[in-house]
A and B are shown apart, each in its own frame.
Chain A
Amino acid sequence: MALDKPYLDVPGTTVFDMEQSRKGYGLNQFCMSLMKAGNRARFKADERSYLDEWDMSEEQKQAVLARDLNRCIAAGGNIYFLAKIGATDGKSFQQMASSMTGMSEDEYRNMMISGGRSVEGNRHIGEDGNAQAHRQPQGNAGKA
């Protein structure tokens, strides 16, 4: 009998459950290694060869090289671990969060100052809120 995972029905959201964690172990441990200054320096000097030292899939490595956090999360990354890549790049948590929405940093910041993203339309997949798959990317990037 399958496990009950009601959170799979939440749009624009990947809950870091046991399955994701199992997939993402190598990726997240690579991220963890960036807490040491020496490792950050080695990663920055040659990202690809540093990544090759880790037990990661090619997709995980490509997602890191592209700094595509949504792709990293789909491949088993967890945001608190992925934040170490952002810290290595000198990015704030808000810059990282905005990158996953398609919004510019200013658009995202303004959304937060205006009270944040509404939950209306964003509770279940299939509604019409701005986190739904058919409304990506958000902000001006989605108006082109």
Chain B
Amino acid sequence: MARITASVYTSHVPAIGAAVDMGKTQEPYWQPVFAGYEYSKEWMKQNTPDVIFLVFNDHATAFSLDMIPTFAIGTAAQYTPADEGWGPRPVPVVQGHPELAAHIAQSVIQQDFDLTIVNKMDVDHGLTVPLSLMCGQPQAWPCPVIPFAVNVVQYPVPSGQRCFNLGKAIANAVKSFDEDLNVQIWGTGGMSHQLQGPRAGLINKQFDNAFLDRLIADPAGLAQMPHIDYVREAGSEGIELVMWLIARGAMSDISGGAVPQVKHRFYHVPASNTAVGHLILQNQLD
């Protein structure tokens, strides 16, 4: 039987990807950001999963305004890093896991979540920057990845509660897959940032740290936070944080299991326009 072993949460700022690709990680501006992921890269080597279920959002790359799926699961065999206008990132092609992805799609739709099924998709920085932060610059990514794209660009985005419930459904789906697979679920995006208008550059350390605290200790309560609180307190693009609740909802304690261990927590301001937050929660062995 497959099982979710851990969840990883991280911002996915495009400039972080550019810093990796251009060899700037040791520059004074970037060094503190990457120092926060040193532990994580080592942890990732020691705890390499069989599959990563990676929750992210597309930034007007694969999805234009022609079609805007709220939840889209990638069932393809592979995904090419996208050209977002500055040329594609020089990172490995992302290998998918079509069997598990198809299984999860079938199960989750039957649990009343209307997923869009995507058999062809280029993946942008929302997906590749977390991989770079957690894995460095390998020739190939360490395992297959199931991309799960959430609409957080076109308002209204799904509520925190719906995301949290979706995480539970994904955990159920993984559990019912017969093959023995260790699966990690990653929630990406955030933390506080606003990229538009005269309020661009907004950062709210107090909000972000309270969000991290509650994500660990009070996720069900946090899931009830309304959209307007994200927009007002964490910036119009800070609403990406709802995606972290999908990963949190998939952890064992939400479905009656033991409380996960906090393996790592990190916070830094700024990376370009954004506050960087990062957390690793590991399920206890049953």
Contact = CB atoms under 8 A, between A and B. Distances in A.
Given A18-B155, A29-B65, A34 B201 contact: no
Contacts of B15: 92-94
A73 B155 contact: no
Given A10-B231, A131-B202, A112 B155 contact: no
A6 B201 CA distance: 21
A104 interface: no
A67 interface: no
Contacts of A83: 59-60, 85
Nearest to A15: B155
B252 interface: no
Contacts of A81: 60, 64-65
Contacts of A57: none
Interface in A95-116: 96-98, 100-102, 108, 111-113, 115-116
A118 B195 CA distance: 14
Contacts of A69: 196
B273 A94 contact: yes
Interface string A116-127: 111100111000
A7 B13 CA distance: 24
Interface string B211-243: 000000000000000011001110011000000
A126 to B, nearest CB: 14
B42 interface: no
B138 to A, nearest CB: 26
B197 A116 contact: no
A122 B233 CA distance: 9
Nearest to A84: B85
Contact of B65 (A6, A25, A35): A25
Contacts of B29: 113
A16 B60 contact: no
B205 A112 contact: no
A17 B84 CA distance: 23
Interface in B11-29: 14-15, 29
B198 A11 contact: yes
A79 B195 contact: yes
A7 B83 CA distance: 32
Contacts of B275: 116
Contacts of B192: 116
B203 interface: yes
B44 interface: no
Given A16-B153, A93-B272, 9 more contacts: A14-B196, A14-B236, A15-B231, A17-B155, A18-B155, A94-B272, A97-B196, A97-B273, A116-B201
18 contacts: A12-B199, A14-B197, A14-B236, A16-B154, A17-B155, A25-B65, A70-B198, A78-B154, A81-B64, A84-B60, A92-B272, A97-B195, A102-B198, A113-B29, A113-B270, A117-B200, A119-B207, A122-B199
Q: Which 9 A-B pairs have the closest CB atoms?
A: A116-B203, A87-B85, A12-B198, A12-B199, A131-B199, A80-B60, A117-B201, A97-B200, A112-B270
